[in-house]
Amino acid sequence: MEKIEIKNPGQHYVNNFILYDALGGPVINENLWKLRIDGIVKKPMEYTYNELNSMTNIEYISDFNCVTKWSVKDVKWTGPSLRDLILKSEPEEDAEWVMFICADGYDTPVPYDDAIDEKSIIALKMNDKPLAIEHGFPARPFIPSLYGWKSAKWLTEIKIMRDYEDGYWESYGYHERGKIEDEERFKGFAWRKIKRKSKIDR
């Protein structure tokens, strides 16, 4: 099993996840739930839980790192490639940000280039089991290099955007990107818009 190692300065390991639901846990009907990809795309799409499950699912082991400094070691993650899902919707050339929007009203942005990283997934399973409801069933994005608040539980919409917008925690001062290696915990005065890579690098 592939293991993705991310340096996590300032973190300490705990045995179990600490559950967070800033806006309360929503009720999800698995049969009605859909994941929508929209915003500045040529082809907005909707996927059912079964459709996501029957796609090629990526698997790897990677730590989970909450910005409040607890980490869980070696979690196994399984789910379809977020990069593939986004590219299927044919984003406009000037896409710079992706907003994850959830059934409970929680939302959080990530830079477009992190969303289309080849390790970014829509996690459907943690440690070989479908996500527990308290961990965000049916789906939550997982991006190994970013802090856990970007892993939005009960995900329903992926909105591709030109311009940065705050999500829930960002509006309280948490960082626009949240890169673990660089301890991007809070917004800094020196923060500037993250420049996307050239079209060729994508």
Phi, psi of 64 (to 5 degrees): -110, 130
Restricting to residues 86-115, name those near ligand MTE by CB under 6 A.
Answer: 102, 104, 106
Place of tokens 């939302």: 107
SS3 53: helix
Bridge partner residues of 34 (DSSP) = 48
Q: Give me the 52-81 binding string for ligand MTE, x by CB under 6 A, dash otherwise.
A: --------------x---------------
Please report whether residue 166 would count as binding ligand MTE according to CB under 6 A: no
* CA distance linking residue 163 with residue 61, whole number of Å: 32
- Contact of residue 179 among ligand MTE, Mo ion, none (CB under 5-8 Å per partner type): none
Please give the C-alpha separations between residue 181 and each of 76, 83, 149, in angstroms, as whole numbers.
Answer: 20, 22, 15
The one-letter code for the residue type at 54 is S
Comparing CB distances to ligand MTE, the nearer of 77 and 106 is: 106
Comparing CB distances to ligand MTE, the nearer of 23 and 40 is: 23
Please report whether residue 19 would count as binding ligand MTE according to CB under 6 A: yes
DSSP conformation class of 118: T
What are 84's two structure tokens? 């593939």
Comparing CB distances to ligand MTE, the nearer of 91 and 148 is: 148
Q: Least separation, in Å, of the C-beta of 148 and Mo ion?
A: 5
DSSP conformation class of 176: S
- Contact of residue 154 among ligand MTE, Mo ion, none (CB under 5-8 Å per partner type): ligand MTE
Please report whether residue 135 would count as binding ligand MTE according to CB under 6 A: yes
Q: Least separation, in Å, of the C-beta of 20 and Mo ion?
A: 6
The contacts of residue 157 (CB under 8 Å, 6+ apart) are: 35, 36, 37, 38, 99, 100, 101
The one-letter code for the residue type at 74 is D
- Contact of residue 28 among Mo ion, ligand MTE, none (CB under 5-8 Å per partner type): none
SS3 27: coil
Comparing CB distances to Mo ion, the nearer of 25 and 33 is: 25
Comparing CB distances to Mo ion, the nearer of 81 and 120 is: 120
Residues that bind ligand MTE (CB under 6 A): 17-23, 66, 102, 104, 106, 135, 148-149, 151-154
